[in-house]
Amino acid sequence: MTQLTQIKAFSKPLIANLAKLGISNLQGLLLHLPLRYIDETHVTAVRDLRMGESAQVEGDIVHAEVTYKPRKALIARLEDASGQLTLRFLHFYPSQINALKVGAKLRVYGEVRSGFFGYEMVHPTCKAVGEKTIVAETLTPVYPTVAGLGQASLRKAIGIALQQQGEMLETLPAQIYADLNLPSFALSLTALHHPSPDVSLRALDNKTTAHWRRLAFDELLAQQLSMRKHYARRRSVSAPQFKRSTKLVSALLKSLPFALTGAQQKVALEIERDLTQAHPMQRLLQGDVGSGKTIVACMAALQCVENGWQVALMAPTEILAEQHYRKMLSWLQPLDIKIAWLTGSQNKKDRDAALESIASGEAKLVVGTHALFQESVRFKSLGLAIIDEQHRFGVHQRLALRQKGQPEPHQLMMSATPIPRTLSMSYYADLDVSVIDELPPGRSPIVTKIVSDARRDEILQRVREACLQGNQAYWVCPLIEESEALQLATANDTYALMQQEFPELKVGLVHGRMKPTEKQAVMAEFSAGHSQLLVATTVIEVGVDVPNASLMVIEHAERMGLSQLHQLRGRVGRGATKSTCILLYQNKLSDTARARLKVIYESNDGFAIAQADLQIRGPGELLGVRQSGVPMLKIADLERDVDLLEAAKDMADTLLQNYPAEVEQHLDRWMSTAGELVKV
């Protein structure tokens, strides 16, 4: 692979600036693709300009001045044979004043707007016109860049790289791409860096041309092969092999006051079968809010314990972890199974006692938060790691817990945020996936209402009536304290107001900055029915199960993501009482906020909501990888390129089946070209 330092035409400052973009070799430079394009292939007369369109105009500066009202600005008028165009600069340098002197002949490019003197351009790009100035033959690319590296220098560097792209060879037979109507890699690179003027700018910017699609296919195929390599590698690793449970699981099921749904039984069998294998299970258990994932995870834990191994259950928040701990205690204590509790907020005495019971093997099940993967935690024989709300942990955190066991433990990941099909095919291709697609009987449907904050008095009255009738309610606020940046309702202020508004009710407050013991006390009081209204931040998004709570009010719902709203809404509707979730919004909703609230209003289907969330926010938030430094797809788009994803999936299977040696030989070099999704 050619390093940039080997290219004589590249200066040290240029190489240093390219390094800031993460570019150190020729392939990286060639794959530094444009953000957008501008059309400088022809000159448009002033009389032919159209409002809202971008165009290139050539003419003479006939007037230029710096004005100070209503604000400081550099104003110039450019004239051609058909009329005049105003150029406006609100931020400018002395050099620009000199360039725009009367008599200067310029070529300008920008978006045409309506101004006081007719058509105008604000901050257009300007080039001096000389005798040798020619019109561009191809569309002009605009690249992502950094301070100190101008577009002209970047275009020149990429032009040199294109002349030396001999090493960018095809790795698959040409017929494969022909069958998919995709051009060659080299042709696609050239066409994307220097596109023909007859190509649609819209198609280029939306990445729907054949050349964009060719590179997107390569990236998706590289990702699919990478996922399958991880899958194959996992199958070659040894793991503890558990026999089916003959005592504990049946004893648990007999003690439960409910029967498993058909969907729960199905996924429980899938997990049980995995645990009997000699390689590590890596299964993602999906289930909408309230579908009963925890009892399925408990059955898996009992299979592990009955075979003499330990289980770790990790949750992202103390509230959720404690919810699991209390459930597991109620289910497993009658079976005489020792459970340990481990969080970062424990006092030293309790923590040391927990660590000792874990290290000795006395604790068969350990429930906790991030504290579980800390270096001081030593398991005697960890056989199964269960991770709830797995997308909230970075990949390295999940790996750290897995490394606590020798041989490698089985891993069960749970998520109440359903994964859209395209996301599952792409980013979870190396996992086995189980879905609980059935809610337990007796759950009441949740009615969702979208209400303007102007009707707050009506909502307060509804809360009063619900609580006085014997039900309970949540009032969710997005912030704990006052923020200058976002003037949103705060939990502290709302709590004080609710106490004044409802003197006849017991009001509780819970938020993330409270001490764990304080949170536990408030939640225990609410769960027991001793308080009727709970004011909370989004810490109650997961892990809170109070069947008597039938009303939820969410302040500033327009500020929250779809999956978060769906999770919060799932805190009600957990009993037989008809439940309602009221989304309070401020007036003047943006189009995006309006569309988001419309989705949550119209659907209780977690998969449909997750699909809409994917379109709005992108995959990084749903996967929990954006904050952990894992790169997302650079070229392909899971919504736009779903047909290419299907083709890449099928192609990966074919290549690995028919050409395993060739894939292994080419994969490292090829994935450095196409881009690799890092997956642990």
Delimit the domains of the chain by residue range.
46-135, 247-436, 447-603
Decide if 582 contacts 556 (C-beta within 8 A). no
Report the relative pairing of strands 446-452 and 382-388 from DSSP bridges.
unpaired
Report the relative pairing of strands 118-122 and 113-115 from DSSP bridges.
antiparallel
Among 205, 208, 217, 228, which Cα is nearest to 178's?
217
Half-sphere exposure of residue 328: CA atoms within 13 angstroms, side-chain side: 30
- Supply angle C-alpha 227, 387, 272, rounded to 5: 80
- pLDDT score of 627: 37
Task: Reduce the DSSP state of residue 130 to 3 states and report it.
Answer: coil
512's CB contacts (< 8 A; 6+ apart) are 317, 480, 537, 539
- pLDDT score of 611: 72
Entry field: residues in the chain: 680
- pLDDT score of 625: 44
CATH superfamily placement of domain 46-135: Nucleic acid-binding proteins (2.40.50.140)
Among 662, 649, 655, which Cα is nearest to 227's?
649
- pLDDT score of 366: 96
Residue 153 structure tokens: 């220098």
Residue 353 structure tokens: 């006692």
H-helix segments, 54-200: 94-99, 151-163, 174-179, 185-193
Asked, colleague to colleague, whether 247-436 and 447-603 share their fold, the answer is: yes
CA distance linking residue 208 with residue 640, whole number of Å: 8
Residue 8 structure tokens: 């004589």
Report the relative pairing of strands 73-80 and 83-89 from DSSP bridges.
antiparallel
Decide if 41 contacts 138 (C-beta within 8 A). yes
Residues of the chain short of pLDDT 50, as ranges, are 484-485, 487, 621-622, 624-631, 673-680
Residue 672 buriedness (CB in 10 A; 0-12 / 13-18 / 19+): middle
CA distance linking residue 80 with residue 59, whole number of Å: 5
Distance of CA 453 to the CA centre of its chain: 29
The CATH number of domain 247-436, selected from 3.40.50.300, 3.50.50.60, 3.40.605.10, 3.30.1490.190 = 3.40.50.300
Distance of CA 384 to the CA centre of its chain: 27
Distance of CA 204 to the CA centre of its chain: 25
Among 144, 134, 77, which Cα is nearest to 104's?
77
Strands (E), 140-244: 140-142
The CATH number of domain 447-603, selected from 3.40.50.2300, 3.30.930.10, 1.10.3720.10, 3.40.50.300 = 3.40.50.300
Cβ contacts of 499-506, under 8 Å, gap ≥ 24: 501/460, 502/463, 502/464, 502/467, 502/533, 504/464, 504/468, 505/464, 505/467, 505/468, 505/531, 505/532, 505/533, 506/530, 506/531, 506/532, 506/533
Decide if 215 contacts 648 (C-beta within 8 A). no
- pLDDT score of 630: 41
CA distance linking residue 6 with residue 301, whole number of Å: 56
